[in-house]
Structure 1
Amino acid sequence: MGAVTISDVRKVYNKTEVLKCVSVDIRDGEFLVLVGPSGCGKSTLLRMIAGLEEISSGEIAIGGQVINDLAPKERDIAMVFQSYALYPHMTVEENMAFALKLKGMSRGERDQRIARAAEILGLTPYLERRPKELSGGQRQRVAMGRAMVRNPAVFLFDEPLSNLDAKLRVAMRSEIKQNHARLKTTTVYVTHDQIEAMTMADRIVVMHDGQVEQIGTPLELYDQPANLFVAGFIGSPAMNMLRGTLTAGGFVAADGTRIDLGSETAAAGARDVVLGIRPEHFSQSGTGHSAEILAVEPTGAETQVAARFAGSEVMIALRERISARPGESLTVLPQPGSLHLFDAGTGIRIN
């Protein structure tokens, strides 16, 4: 069983609290992504699961067994690093076999495991090559293969795609997900890239400043962000944020623009709020509000428009193609059923 339980885990460096009572239950066979900006503590948490960092307090268990005091080699985990960490003097096959030799596995079983992993990862033609003879993507496959042959309870990935170019990153994240579907091994994956998180995860843990901001499926986080941090971090282009007042009549922006909230939360008395609008939740409408165009970015599938709307700069994503230019105006309407309201003081979602 590869379920991982993280209970009230803290990490303190020189009196600085890097992780603040983090608790996460990772289901057996789940692909869970830890995401957040640099310095949020996600890699530290991963290294604590691996046994590469000591736990200041709290517990981590794998398959019901507390592993706080176990050496990394006793934890039944395999880790894939950002830098690949391959032995340059060894062939691909030797790199993949190294940990199995240390375990005293027979030659026959080693060869069988390596052949299976090489076939899955498309490495069979490269088994006799050394790392310097491989491309970045091939080296990453070797690092994955070295982890796979160990047949661990848990795979740990620490930003494994950050050294690859954009096109190869897209291909490799699909490959990692396909391998997970085949192997069904519990996987904990760290990235700062929210697109990677959205496209790969069964569930996402959004971290910020050493603590968990929200845990949920990609669409749960996208559609119902718990607070302003998650709302601003998840989604590309980012959610637009308008500051203003919530009243019984709806939302009033700082410049006086009134926006209909439909059935969204209203307040009996005035309340300072932030209204969140995803770029794709604007539509062109003759009864909408004027938005001054600042820039137009056609992508083919949609048109992204930077504009000034309700006193703020926003990004508008339209499915249709437009011929408007900077300095001209669009008449747009935020879609009432797709708006997000947050308390201006606490940042917590209120609708």
Structure 2
Amino acid sequence: MAQVLIRDVRKSYGPVEVLRGIDVEVENGEFVALVGPSGCGKSTLLRMIAGLEGISGGEVRIGGRVVNDIPPKQRDVAMVFQNYALYPHMTVAKNMGFSLKLAGKPRDEIDRRVAAAAEILDLSSLLDRLPRQLSGGQRQRVAMGRAIVRDPVVFLFDEPLSNLDAKLRVQMRAEIKALHQRLGTTTVYVTHDQVEAMTMADKIVVMKGGVVEQVGSPLELYDRPDNMFVAGFIGSPAMNFIKGRVANGQFTGECGLTAPETMENRADVVLGIRPEHLHLDPSGTEATVVVVEQTGAETLLLLDMNGQKLTHLGRDRLHIRPGEIVRVMPDTARLHLFDEQTGRRIGGAASA
């Protein structure tokens, strides 16, 4: 295990600055997820940690050692890629042990390490197969096994589940988390899927446009986002945002939704309400049901309130049809208030 420290890291391609002063601290044995939309710089940052991209400014430390100018093979890190990157003509065993062979390790040591990794990943019965004889999930486990046999101080994952179907992603999510809990190796994991980050990581780094928007535990980011971007990115379905003003201690939205709040009066604010915190209530504000999505365990309603689109997530089955009128009331203990101009959180807003 090793600590990874990223200090004021910058990356430019000519005049284009991709990373603009990134500060991230990954503690020994911690599982940290880098999340954000496409183009935010998360994969570039991961490749800089691995040594696959040069650093334009700042420094990266792994285990207390500055690695800016150290080649990838000397950084003692192992990377798992999105596309598996397996050698098609090699068996599972040879794929997993190839890096050790290149390093000149004895045959018996290679066999021992491969067997140990295969046992961890439930690949022992597949060691003689070729990649084309494996499912997507099995191939991804082989890619992980290739990283494990190297016994690195840091694991780096670059969107490893993107090519898998929904059911397999859920399964592999649990397997990667269980693997981390078993090995305790420091892990940096890149994903655009905030659900992956929420369910797997000890700490999440939310990025946008080459900067870090917020760092915290999954529940810290969910309960108290620093700004509207983080609030809208973390949580599924996404948070509802309603423009309005606070007068006499009560928020009134442009769409007519009201919510009592104990805060100072101010105009140009945005109220944030998570779909699961917008309840059906006979004393609430009227809205028209536009779409009903039944998943069995939950019901998702897309609502129209005087032109404002809102999402309600109910934990029960609701026998409601599009076109019906419902009344909704926000949970006043779980509201978020933001400045409309800056997007920053207003401290007086309630949190979960």
Same fold (TM over 0.5): yes
Native 8 Å contact 1:254 1:311 kept in 2: no
Distance apart, 1:282 and its partner CA:
1.6
1:29-66 deviations in whole A, cap 9, x for unaligned? 01100000000000000000000000000000001000
Instruction: Report the 3-state secondary structure (helix = DSSP H, G, I; strand = E; otherwise coil) of the residue aligned with 2:171.
Output: helix
Q: Partner of 2:214 in structure 1? A: 214
Partner of 2:154: 154
Alignment RMSD (CA, Å): 1.1
Matches within 5 A, 1:272-287: 272-287=268-283
Q: Which residue of 2 aligns with 1:316?
A: 312
Name 1:19's counterpart in structure 2. 19
Instruction: Indicate whether 1:346 and 2:339 are aligned.
Output: no
Consecutive unaligned residues of structure 1, counting only runs of 5 or more, are none
Say if 1:92 and 1:127, in contact at 8 Å, map to a contact too.
yes
What aligned pairs does 1:110-121 form with structure 2 within 5 A after superposition?
110-121=110-121
Question: How far 1:156 sits from its partner (Å)?
Answer: 0.3
Match of 2:53 in 1: 53
Matched letter for residue 347 of structure 1: G
The Cα shift of 1:324 comes to: 1.9
Contact 2:291–2:302 at 8 Å: present in 1 too?
yes
**Cα deviation per residue 1:56-99 (whole Å; 9 max; x = unaligned)?**
00000001000001000000000000111111111111111111
- Structure 2's unaligned 5+ residue stretches are none
Q: How does 1:50-199 map to 2 (within 5 A)?
A: 50-199=50-199
Structure 2 residue 323 is matched with structure 1 residue 330: no
The CA deviation at 1:258 is 2.7
CA contact (8 A) 1:307 1:316 kept: yes
Judge conservation of contact 1:291–1:331 (CA < 8 Å) in 2: yes
2:264 aligns with 267
**Corresponding residue pairs, total:** 347
Listed one character per residue, the Cα deviations across residues 190-245 of structure 1 (whole Å, up to 9, x for unaligned) are: 01011111111111000000000001111111111110100111111100000111
Runs of at least 4 residues off by over 6 Å: none
Identity %: 61
Q: Residues of 1 paired with 2:301 and 2:107: CA distance?
A: 60
How far does residue 255 in structure 1 lie from its aligned partner after superposition? 3.5
Instruction: Report the alpha carbon displacement of residue 271 of structure 1 after superposing the two structures with TM.
Output: 2.1
What does residue 28 of structure 1 align with? 28
> In structure 2, what is the equivalent of residue 303 of structure 1?
299
Give the AA of the match of 1:128: D
SS class of match (2:95): helix
CA distance in 2 between partners of 1:10 and 1:110 (Å): 38
Q: Distance between the aligned counterparts of 1:44 and 1:38, measured in 2?
A: 11
**Residue in structure 1 matched with residue 229 of structure 2 by the alignment:** 229
Q: In 2, Cα distance between the equivalents of 1:295 and 1:158?
A: 35
- Name which of structure 1's ranges 282-291 and 127-136 shifts more when overlaid on structure 2: 282-291
Distance apart, 1:130 and its partner CA: 1.2
Question: What is the CA–CA distance in structure 2 between the aligned matches of 1:309 and 1:140, rounded to whole Å?
Answer: 45
Write the distance in 2 (CA, Å) between the matches of 1:170 and 1:297. 21
